[in-house]
Amino acid sequence: MTTFESLQKRVIRRPQQRHIPVLATLALLCVMYGAGVVRYTGFSDTQIVLNVFIDNGFLLVVGVGMTFVILTGGIDLSVGAVVALTTMIFASLVQAGWSPIAVLPVVLLVGALIGLAMGCIIHFFDIQPFIATLAGMFLARGLCYVISTDAIRIDNALWTSLADYKIRFGGFHISWSVVISLAVVLIAAYVLAYTRLGRNVYAIGGNQQSAMLMGLPVGRTKIAVYTISGVCSALGGVLLTFYTSSGYGLHALGMELDAIAAVVIGGTVLTGGSGFLFGTVLGVLVLGLIQTIITFEGTLSSWWTKIVIGALLFAFIVLQRAVARRTT
């Protein structure tokens, strides 16, 4: 085999191997849904799938931000706390008489500033993302209790009507959170696939040293992805208020782990450089479908959700390692 043929074979093979984790997630989702249809009456109703989107719209938005971070080889442990802080700020300002429309840019700015601060600390002080975002998590969760130690109810008529509004089509319905979350996915997918920022994200995750030697703005890109994650977390908190109609410091406990699980199960490699937002969507659907199956079963504790997710994480991490070894 000539050198050219060997190179051509490697170029053709790599994209196929890179897609293996995503295809595995898609296959898992199909098997789970098929098993549910066979076992449970009414599981084949299209509204069941739509309800998974409705119940997990906020997680999908948070997962989008986490995908950007993990693609660079980083991690963000603050997302759940930022979600909770967003609900607290939103609920307290609305209760004080602010219009929900006026509060929206405020909470998004808060999320962006927290993400920006963590990104700057990670880049300029060369702090590990785990430590910097852990500090961000404690800061955001602590600020929740500075605002209030109790839950704050959101009883604004405009916000309540938006939360209860159902977009109907063909006998089915979705909520505004589904529309917003899917719009965020489409915008983020475009950014990753067709913009310089997206190319830089993949390049840094693939090999940061090579990216620096190529003259890519490594620091600026890292700061940008943590800022994006902060904005997505804040928007996820806004969508969570649709679902809970309240702000509370204990909201979104462990959501950072759910977001990481969705991204990894969706095929994004934890070390960065490989992954797709479509995979994150599939990962969120897998998590939601697990909870739906447990609900239909009726005899299982909700803790089985965590057990199954843990087993799937182990399986997909092993799969990612196997694919990486074949590629090298």
CATH classification of the domain holding 254: 1.10.3470
CA distances from 154 to 90, 176, 235, 242, 255 (A): 9, 17, 16, 9, 22
Residue 8 has pLDDT above 50, yes or no: no
Give the number of residues written for the chain. Answer: 328
Asked whether residue 237 is assigned to any structural domain, the reply reads: yes
pTM to 2 decimal places: 0.92
Sign of CA dihedral 222, 228, 230, 232: negative
pLDDT (tens digit per residue) in 180-231: 999 999 999 999 999 999 999 999 999 999 999 999 999 999 999 999 999 9
Q: How confident is the model at residue 328 (pLDDT cuts 50, 70, 90)?
A: low
pLDDT (tens digit per residue) in 233-292: 999 999 999 999 999 999 999 999 999 999 999 999 888 988 999 999 999 999 999 999
pLDDT, the chain, mean: 91
Structurally, the chain folds into a number of domains equal to 1
Residue 63 has pLDDT above 80, yes or no: yes
The larger pLDDT score, comparing residue 7 to residue 158, is at: 158
Asked whether residue 184 is assigned to any structural domain, the reply reads: yes
Asked whether residue 222 is assigned to any structural domain, the reply reads: yes
In the prediction, which pLDDT does 10 show? 41
Asked whether residue 11 is assigned to any structural domain, the reply reads: no
Asked whether residue 92 is assigned to any structural domain, the reply reads: yes
Asked whether residue 238 is assigned to any structural domain, the reply reads: yes
> What is the domain extent for residue 122?
21-327
Asked whether residue 16 is assigned to any structural domain, the reply reads: no
Asked whether residue 214 is assigned to any structural domain, the reply reads: yes
pLDDT (tens digit per residue) in 108-133: 999 999 999 999 999 999 999 999 99
Distance, CA of 183 to CA of 160 (rounded, Å): 22
Q: How confident is the model at residue 27 (pLDDT cuts 50, 70, 90)?
A: very high
In the prediction, which pLDDT does 327 show? 60
At 74 the three-state DSSP class reads: coil
